[in-house]
Amino acid sequence: MEKLEPVSEFLWLKRRSSSFRLLLTVGLATWSALLLVSLWNLFIFNSPHHDQTWFLYAAQRMIAGAKLYGPGIAGPGIVETNPPLIIWFSAIPVELARLLHLGPVLMLKLVVLAAVVGSMMWSYRILRAAGWKLSPGFLSLALCSILTAELFLDGFEVGQREHLLVILFIPYLLSSACIGKSDLSLAERCAIGVAGGVAVCIKPQEVLILFGVELFLVLWRRPLRRVLRAELLCAASAILLYTFLVYLVTPLYFTKTTPLLMDCLWAYGGFKASFLFRAAAHANIVLLLALIVFVLCRRRLRYSALSGSFLACAIGASLAYFLQHTGWAYQIYPYHAFLVLAVLWIGFGLAPAGLDNWRPRLSLAVGAFALALAFLVPLLLRLHIRQVRAETAQESYVQTALAGLPPQTPVLVLSTSLDAFPTVLEEHLTWASRFAHLWMLPAIIQNERAQVGGPKPKKVLSPGTVQRLAELQRTEVAEDLLRWKPDVVVVSKCRKSAPCQALGDLDFDIVSWFGRSAAFAAQWSHYRIRSSSADYDVYQRSS
Structure confidence by residue, pLDDT tens digits, 149-189: 887 787 788 899 999 999 999 999 999 888 666 678 889 99
- Identify the band that residue 430 occupies on the pLDDT scale cut at 50, 70 and 90: very high
pLDDT of residue 222: 65
d(CA 273, CA 207): 18
pLDDT of residue 407: 94
pLDDT value of residue 367: 47
pLDDT at residue 241 above 90? yes
Residue 499: the pLDDT is: 84
Instruction: Please state, in angstroms and rounded to a whole number, the distance separating the CA atoms of residues 234 and 243.
Output: 14
Q: For residue 60, is pLDDT > 90?
A: yes
Q: Please report which confidence band the pLDDT of residue 43 belongs to, taking 50, 70 and 90 as the band edges.
A: confident
Task: Assess whether pLDDT exceeds 80 at residue 46.
Answer: no
The helix (H) or strand (E) run that includes residue 414 is: strand 410-414
Number of CB atoms found within 10 A of residue 352's CB: 10
- In the Cβ-directed half-sphere of 14, how many Cα atoms lie within 13 Å? 6
Residue 105 has what pLDDT? 92
Task: Check residues 367 and 156 and name the one with the higher pLDDT.
Answer: 156
pLDDT at 107: 93
* Predicted local distance difference test score (pLDDT) of residue 75: 60
Taking only the tens place, the pLDDT of each residue in 304-337 is 889 999 999 999 999 999 999 998 989 999 999 9
Gap between the Cα atoms of 253 and 264, Å rounded: 15
Q: Could you count the other beta carbons within 10 Å of the beta carbon of residue 105?
A: 21
pLDDT digits (tens, 9 = 90+) for 78-133: 989 999 999 999 999 999 999 999 999 999 999 998 999 899 899 988 988 876 66
Global confidence as pTM = 0.88
pLDDT, tens digit, for every residue of 460-516? 999 999 999 999 999 999 999 999 999 999 999 988 877 888 887 788 999 999 999
pLDDT of 205 over the 50 cut: yes
- Cβ–Cβ under 8 Å, residues 432 and 486: yes
* % of the chain beyond a pLDDT of 90: 53
pLDDT at 4: 43
**Contacts of the segment 221-228: beta carbons below 8 A, 24+ positions apart:** 221/305, 226/179, 226/180
Region label for 428, one of left (φ > 0), alpha (ψ between -120 and 50) or beta (otherwise): left
| Residues facing 539 on adjacent strands | 489, 529
What share of the chain in percent tops pLDDT 70?
Answer: 81
Pairing of strands 430-431, 488-492: unpaired
User: Does the pLDDT of residue 390 top 60, yes or no?
Assistant: no
Provide the pLDDT for residue 17: 53
Asked whether residue 196 carries a pLDDT value surpassing 90, the answer given is yes
Q: Which residues contact 450 (CB under 8 A, 6 or more apart)?
A: 456, 457, 460
Give the pLDDT of residue 8. Answer: 47
Task: Kindly report the average pLDDT of the chain as a whole number.
Answer: 84
CA-to-CA dists, residue 62 to 78, 160, 439, 481, 511, angstroms? 8, 19, 20, 20, 29
CA distances from 162 to 213, 217, 268, 451, 540 (A): 17, 23, 18, 37, 38
| Amino acid making up residue 376 | L
What's the pLDDT at 118? 92
> pLDDT band at 227, cuts 50/70/90?
low
Residue 352: closest CA among 27, 24, 11: 24
